[in-house]
Amino acid sequence: MGEPGREEYKIQSFDAETQQLLKTALKDPGAVDLEKVANVIVDHSLQDRVFSKEAGRMCYAIIQAESKQAGQSVFRRGLLNRLQQEYQAREQLRARSPQGWVCYVTFICNIFDYLRVNNMPMMALVNPVYDCLFRLAQPDSLSEEEEVDCLVLQLHRVGEQLEKMNRQRMDELFVLIRDGFLLPTSLSSLAQLLLLEIIEFRAAGWKTTPAAHKYYYSEVSD
């Protein structure tokens, strides 16, 4: 970890009572209800896009602290249970709150990025993460810039890891992305640019050249 300042910063978006709950969970996890802590973090992640991008770091810290203190995984179990509940209701979430849906995808990808078992990503999260990304690659999602942006950001973050876990599903996902790019009936110019950038990014081995970065991101900033 080594970045307590960042933990403190993220906690500031909570009310004082919840801040204290989270600080205690990080320092003395046995002293608080860790299932409640998991629910608090998931609930806030579904409402706060900035927090959802970084919450995995906090979750990892709590899991490490609990394991070191008691050799248990109450928090991780509670976290995965909530992720599963929200995953099962993902279409309802998207219909009810497009922003909440984007936050959920950002959060589950962030958790996938941070949580490890024997230094490997958690297999239990691979297919749910893929399913969320497949949903973002459907035509109705590709017509929404916020969902396209989420899809591309998450592939930048976890695409290479996901491909190592299941290459076939990544191939299938990029067929959808290419089809969406080639049939731009309702795509904005920004969405087309983002999709082309991620197609080239993967083709280059999940890397980008300085020239490509300058081209795409100068276009985005314009």
* CATH topology match: 14-116 vs 118-216: yes
Residue-wise pLDDT for 70-108, tens only, equals: 888 999 999 999 999 999 999 999 999 999 999 999 999
d(CA 108, CA 60): 13
| CA torsion angle 126 127 130 131 (round to 10) | -150
In the prediction, which pLDDT does 127 show? 97
Provide the CATH number for the domain formed by 118-216 in this structure.
Answer: 1.25.40.180
Domain boundaries, the chain: 14-116, 118-216
Measured over the CA atoms of residue 99, residue 101, residue 105 and residue 108, the dihedral's sign is positive
Distance of CA 165 to the CA centre of its chain: 16
Residue 68 neighbours by CB under 8 Å, 6+ apart: none
**Mean pLDDT over the full length of the chain:** 90
Does the pLDDT at position 39 exceed 50?
yes
Residue-wise pLDDT for 138-171, tens only, equals: 999 999 999 999 999 999 999 999 999 999 999 9
In the prediction, which pLDDT does 38 show? 97
- In this structure, whether the domain defined by 14-116 belongs to CATH 3.40.50.620 is answered with no
Residue-wise pLDDT for 175-208, tens only, equals: 999 999 987 677 899 999 999 999 999 999 999 8
d(CA 192, CA 185): 11
* Closest-CA residue to 147 (of 157, 156, 137): 137
